[in-house]
Amino acid sequence: MTGSVRWREITLALPDLGVDRVLEVGPGKVLVGIMKRTCGDLTYTNYADASGL
């Protein structure tokens, strides 16, 4: 490993970049849950698989 993941900083920057919606594709809602705790101003959607898109 050469560096740390800057998840919080990236998540907080999303609204400034014009992002208003986050889609998570895959089983579970782990990433959406983490992002909601960091940046609750976005709209979050989870799809169990790509067929739901």
Residue 26 falls inside a structural domain: yes
Tell me if 26 sits within 8 A of 48, measured CB to CB: yes
| pLDDT at residue 1, as a whole number | 63
Please state the separation of Cα 9 from the chain's center in Å: 12
| pLDDT at residue 29, as a whole number | 85
Query: How many domains does the chain fold into?
Result: 1
Tell me if 46 sits within 8 A of 19, measured CB to CB: no
Residue 2 falls inside a structural domain: no
pTM of this structure: 0.70
Residue 44 falls inside a structural domain: yes
**pLDDT tens for each residue of 11-50:** 899 999 999 999 999 888 888 888 889 888 899 998 988 8
Residue 12 falls inside a structural domain: no
Residue 51 falls inside a structural domain: yes
Above 90 in pLDDT, residue 52? no
Q: Which domain holds residue 46?
A: 21-53
DSSP-H helix ranges across the chain: 7-13, 30-38
Q: Which two tokens stand for residue 17?
A: 């970049």
Tell me if 46 sits within 8 A of 32, measured CB to CB: yes
| pLDDT at residue 19, as a whole number | 95
